[in-house]
Amino acid sequence: MTEENPVETVTLRPSAPAFSSDGAVAFGVQSMQHAPPRMLLMAHVGGADLEPRWLGLGDTVEFGDTTWRFEDVRFANPDLWEATVRSVPPGAAPFTPPPLTGDRDWTTVDLRPSGPVDAAAVAAAERRLGRDLPPVYRRWLAENNGATPPEPVHVPGFRFQLSPVRPLLGVHPDEPHVDLGLGPRRAPAWLIRDHVVIAVATGGLLAVRADLPGLDEIVFLDEIATDREPEQVDVVAPDIYSFCAYLQPAPPVAPARLGELEPEPAPVRPPDLLDLVGRALDFAAAARATMCAEFDVRFISEVAMLARMGRLARRGECAGGLRYDIHGNGYDVFAPDDTPLTLQGKGYAPADRPAGPADGLLDVVDVYALRDFLADRTGIRFGVEELTAACEEHVRRGALRPAGNGGVYELPPVPGRVEEQQ
């Protein structure tokens, strides 16, 4: 290197060689780790391969006549990254590595599996689905039987979230809301010809490719693109194990400030959809009140806890004729025309006492449940964005309250129990 160009930067990528400007050094990365970032750097100098060296951010190594420093790295996922090494000129000032924030340090999220599950149960699930599961996914399913993140997670660059109420599905025939059998009920026919739906996520469907042996790709069908052809789904990961490694904590949605709100917002929905959503919400609130009265509880989670403890049947009918199907931490309630509406509890009820205000339980409904309920009743599949707009109008009118990210809304207090909950 000359005095006119004393510093040189080389960019390193997976499975690709990189070269110094004079060609004297060929670089390669044998292994890249994260949390914290470390790489096993290889070099070919003067016709010989040098001993690979482990470097953390800020570490230096001498290759040829030059000292090189591992200066930065950015992860798109654990398998896709871009690292920077830079030559260090004589008398260089002390170097402080960049902070390990954002995409410099890949976070391993907490996924809580339900498994393992035995081969007979997996085979029974395949019979119910009417097809064999692809081999890599089948192995993961046997080991984990689905998985639930305790907080919302996503894969950067894709418009979906998994959450406690929208987990990776498993073999749970007694809990339809988290069973693989949910996929065929929610997916377009063209998708399930070649794929098995593994999650009904906020924002769309996740599926594993099942038509070609050994190609267990995980794909995403965006909610706003359900009319696209199968070959246009987005590939998220090469297999389910990589998919789980690619997950990151979902970024929080910043709360709106009063100054950002229009004083008199324009109507956001046609009156017909606004009315349909209002009537669906009225049915949700009335059905939840009926269930609470039937089982002498305050919250949806308490009903689910009674079912888990075997104190009531998971399927049944209330005294007033309301039919229900309990699953996971919620239940489906059926309108008089047998259309199901899924209601969920946020937080888990105590098993040894009635729940109280300090337990922080909420009863919620989300826009995806409303979409499916209205689609079954009207034959019209409304979009998530327009349903969210209708719900937000009900929020503006004081009839509904948001309950976190992802189009989830808190149901109003059960009539007659307001004082108890305060």
Q: Length of the chain in residues, anyone?
A: 422
- pLDDT, one tens digit per residue, over 141-191 is 999 999 999 889 999 888 899 988 889 999 998 888 889 999 888 888 888
Work out the pLDDT band at 407, boundaries 50, 70, 90. confident
Least reliable range by pLDDT among 98-107, 151-160, 221-230: 221-230
Beta strand pairing call for 218-222 and 204-209 = antiparallel
Comparing CA positions, the residue from 172, 150, 202 lying closest to residue 325 is 172
What is residue 348's predicted lDDT score, i.e. its pLDDT?
85
Residue pointed to by tokens 């246009």: 232
Compute the average pLDDT of residues 29-38. Answer: 90
- pLDDT, one tens digit per residue, over 307-341 is 888 899 989 999 778 999 998 788 999 988 888 99
Residue 357 or 112, more confident = 112
What is residue 256's predicted lDDT score, i.e. its pLDDT?
44
Q: Is the pLDDT of residue 259 over 50?
A: no
Q: Is the pLDDT of residue 66 over 70?
A: yes
For the record, the structure tokens of 351 come out as 């098993």
Sheet holding 195-201, edge to edge: 195-201, 204-209, 218-222, 234-237
Topology of domain 112-249, CATH: SMI1/KNR4-like (3.40.1580)
Helix (H, G, I), strand (E, B) or coil at 54: strand
What is residue 5's predicted lDDT score, i.e. its pLDDT?
46
What is residue 405's predicted lDDT score, i.e. its pLDDT?
62
Helix (H, G, I), strand (E, B) or coil at 226: coil
Neighbouring C-beta atoms of residue 275, cutoff 10 Å = 12
Beta strand pairing call for 112-113 and 80-87 = unpaired
374 neighbors 384 (Cβ within 8 angstroms):
no
Q: Give start-end residues of each CATH 3.40.1580.10 domain in the chain.
A: 112-249
- pLDDT, one tens digit per residue, over 327-376 is 878 899 998 888 899 999 888 888 889 888 888 888 999 888 898 899 88
CA gyration radius, the chain: 27
High-pLDDT (> 70) share of the chain, %: 89
Q: Is the pLDDT of residue 103 over 90?
A: no
Compute the average pLDDT of residues 232-242. Answer: 90
What is residue 406's predicted lDDT score, i.e. its pLDDT?
65
Q: Is the pLDDT of residue 283 over 60?
A: yes
What is residue 2's predicted lDDT score, i.e. its pLDDT?
44
HSE-CB for 240 with a 13 A CA cutoff: 30
Compute the average pLDDT of residues 117-140. Answer: 94
What is residue 380's predicted lDDT score, i.e. its pLDDT?
83
What is residue 225's predicted lDDT score, i.e. its pLDDT?
56
Q: Is the pLDDT of residue 420 over 60?
A: no
Measured CA to CA, the distance from residue 32 to residue 72 in angstroms comes to 12
Compute the average pLDDT of residues 80-101. Answer: 88
